[in-house]
Amino acid sequence: MSDENANEEDRCICEYIKKRNRLVHLSKNFGIGSQIKLTERESVVNDYLMKYKNEEMDKGFGRPDRFLPANHFFTSRAKIEKSKVFQFLRAMPKGASLHSHDLGMVSADYLYSLTFKENLYALVKDEELFLQFFKKKKVPKDQEWILVSELRENDPEFEDFLKSKLTLICENPDVAYPDVDTVWKSFQKLFINLEKLITYKPVFQEYFYQVLKEAYEENVKYLEFRGFLPNVYDIDGKTYRNADVVCLYWETLTQFLCEHVDFVGCKFIFAPHRLVGSEVMDEYVCIYKCIKEKFPRFVLGFDLVGQEDLGAPLINFIRQFLDLKESGCKFFFHAGETHWNGQPTDYNIFDAILLGSVRIGHAFALLKHPLAANLVKERGIGIEISPISNQVLKLIDDVRDHPAALMIANNYPVVIVNDDPSFWGGKGITYDWYVTFMGMCHRDADIRLLKQLALNSIQYSGLDDDEKDIAFAQFNCDWNKFLTRVLKGCECSSANKDCGK
Q: State the catalytic residues.
A: 337, 362
Cα separation, 382 vs 366, in Å, equals 12
Residue in 289, 343, 347 with CA at minimum distance from that of residue 320 = 289
Cα separation, 436 vs 457, in Å, equals 15
CA distances from 468 to 66, 97, 136, 204, 255 (A): 40, 14, 49, 29, 22
Cα separation, 263 vs 269, in Å, equals 19
Is 437 strand, coil or helix? helix
Is 159 strand, coil or helix? helix
b/e 25-42 (16+ beta carbons within 10 angstroms → b): eeeeeebbbeebeeeeeb
Q: Are 84 and 59 in contact (CB under 8 A)?
A: no
Cα separation, 386 vs 359, in Å, equals 13
Is 332 strand, coil or helix? coil
Residue in 393, 325, 374 with CA at minimum distance from that of residue 104 = 393
Cα separation, 239 vs 147, in Å, equals 22
In the beta sheet, which residues pair with residue 280?
Answer: none
Cα separation, 98 vs 456, in Å, equals 11
Is 262 strand, coil or helix? coil
Cα separation, 30 vs 24, in Å, equals 11
Cα separation, 374 vs 49, in Å, equals 33
CA distances from 193 to 40, 159, 167, 305, 367 (A): 52, 16, 11, 17, 36
Q: Integer distance in angstroms from the first to the last C-alpha of the chain?
A: 58
**Amino acid at site 316:** N
The C-alpha torsion from 361 through 274 and 227 to 105, rounded to 10°, is -60
Cβ burial, residue 149 (10 Å; 0-12/13-18/19+)? middle
In the beta sheet, which residues pair with residue 59?
Answer: none
